[in-house]
Amino acid sequence: MSTASLPATADPSPGPHHVAIIMDGNGRWAKARGLPRVAGHRRGADAVRRVVRGAGELGIPVLTLFAFSTENWTRPADEVNDLMGLLRHYLRNELAKLAHKYAELGRVAVRNVRRDGMEALKKAEKDHKISQDEHRQKSDEVQKLTDRYVKQVDEVLAHKEKEIKTV
């Protein structure tokens, strides 16, 4: 789902603050196509991925998905185990993707600060507020700081990935 697919006449006013979806019928969908119920549940997980991405693109801050009701515990143990395994797999993969996305945003932010700092140093030298040697020295310091902060972002990401694998 992409906001680009919205019609040109779409209402520009803010959308809903909270959307809730009851996921139902994945097993019936699979059965109607002669597939095992777990195939329907996997297809439902794909739909969830698209819904979550679309909600983010549309700026919906709160999304609630009702995916497993108390009645679902009465299903055959194999199906319940498949559903729980699918949930764990989905959460691990999606959380890992989010961690990578936010780490990259952190790296970009640090590099943008570096760029701005380098431009300020260049301007200061041009305006004769600092010497060429000071410019070089301060540029080296800015680069070292950038490298240090990017390394910290990578360390936090590695820690998060390890944490996610234990979910």
Pair of tokens at residue 123? 């301007």
**Catalytic annotation present for 24:** yes
**What residues contact residue 17 under an 8 Å CB cut-off, 6+ apart?**
60, 61, 62
Question: Which of 163, 111, 100, 98 lies closest to 142, judged by CA?
Answer: 111
Among 11, 26, 46, 72, the one annotated catalytic: 72
d(CA 104, CA 150): 9
* Residue 164 and residue 99 in contact, taking contact as beta carbons nearer than 8 Å: yes
d(CA 13, CA 96): 33
**Catalytic annotation present for 81:** no
Long-range Cβ contacts of 35-39 (<8 Å, 24+ apart): 37/79, 38/79, 38/82, 38/86
Among 24, 140, 147, 154, the one annotated catalytic: 24
Which residues have a catalytic role annotated? 24, 72
